[in-house]
């Protein structure tokens, strides 16, 4: 079973399952999850090969969907599901394979398509860190900044660093090996007919108008919304606006 962080207690509203993206964890979503838990229970998971969840040799979306299905079944009721990036793809596969487990779906800044860009350079950067020289998280951030141009990403990545144990809470070798699967999207028959929100960053290019026909073919009851000024990590760039959009959608 995936590691789970529960916020709030069960209410009359469906619980919300939050599924993080590549190199993330349920902990990254703590502030938003806590704020949304005023109306419903929120469960944030660590996906396989991330955080405190088990490590496996596989990192396919079919496997990730099975992990999420097990969590929902353990709670005994369908959930609303919010997935970002890789987590959005896993949530889409979950909804297509097990529509009875998902009430409403929110897909944050990703489409059900294959992408050409690779994330391998970030794995190489994390593996290049001299963990023995680190006594605090900022030491690792400083090393990463010498290899990564984006000032936000070193802070994000080091949230998955266990400083005292001097190791990453990421199965970097398997994530590198499985990167082609992570960048792709599996061929799945069927449709998910329940309400879906594709919520994107206004400054992101991950979801384009050209993706809409593919999205609508799989998720015919889809609405699209953008958060102006937000990039791919839209929940970090514009957390209050992101929270408001999610809250509005869940209460419709």
Catalytic residue among 57, 130, 150, 173: 173
In angstroms, the CA 55 to CA 125 distance is 21
Catalytic residue among 53, 85, 160, 204: 85
Indicate if 204 belongs to the active site: no
Indicate if 232 belongs to the active site: yes
**DSSP structural state of residue 170:** B
Pairing of strands 222-227, 196-201: parallel
What angle is formed at CA 207 by the lines to CA 29 and CA 151, rounded to 5 degrees? 50
Query: Six-digit token pair at 61?
Result: 């979306």
Residues 6+ apart with CB under 8 A from 25: 46, 50, 51, 52, 159, 160, 169
Indicate if 85 belongs to the active site: yes
Catalytic residue among 7, 59, 232, 235: 232
What angle is formed at CA 244 by the lines to CA 206 and CA 28, rounded to 5 degrees? 65
What angle is formed at CA 50 by the lines to CA 169 and CA 32, rounded to 5 degrees? 105
In angstroms, the CA 245 to CA 225 distance is 8
Query: Quick count: other Cβ atoms within 10 Å of Cβ 39?
Result: 15
Point out the residues that are catalytic.
Answer: 85, 173, 232
């Amino acid at each position: 079973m995936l590691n789970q962080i529960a916020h709030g207690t069960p209410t009359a509203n469906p619980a919300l399952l939050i599924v993080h993206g590549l190199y993330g964890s349920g902990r990254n979503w703590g502030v938003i999850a806590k704020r949304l838990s005023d109306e419903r229970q929120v469960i944030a998971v660590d996906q396989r090969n991330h955080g405190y969840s088990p490590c496996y040799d596989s990192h396919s979306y079919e496997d990730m969907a099975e992990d999420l299905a097990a969590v929902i079944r353990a709670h005994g009721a369908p959930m609303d599901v919010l997935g970002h990036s890789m987590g959005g793809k896993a949530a889409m596969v979950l909804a297509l394979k097990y529509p009875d487990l998902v009430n409403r779906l929110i897909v944050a800044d990703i489409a059900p398509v294959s992408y050409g860009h690779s994330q391998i350079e970030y794995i190489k950067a994390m593996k290049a860190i001299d963990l023995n020289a680190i006594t605090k998280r900022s030491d690792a951030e400083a090393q990463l900044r010498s290899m990564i141009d984006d000032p936000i990403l070193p802070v994000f990545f080091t949230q998955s660093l266990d400083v005292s144990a001097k190791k990453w809470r990421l199965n970097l070798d398997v994530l590198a090996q499985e990167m082609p699967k992570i960048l792709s999207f599996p061929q799945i028959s069927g449709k998910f007919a329940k309400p879906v929100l594709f919520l994107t960053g206004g400054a992101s290019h991950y979801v384009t108008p050209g993706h809409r026909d593919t999205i609508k073919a799989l998720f015919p009851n889809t609405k699209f919304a953008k958060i102006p000024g937000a990039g791919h990590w839209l929940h970090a760039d514009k957390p209050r606006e992101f929270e408001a959009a999610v809250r509005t959608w869940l209460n419709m």
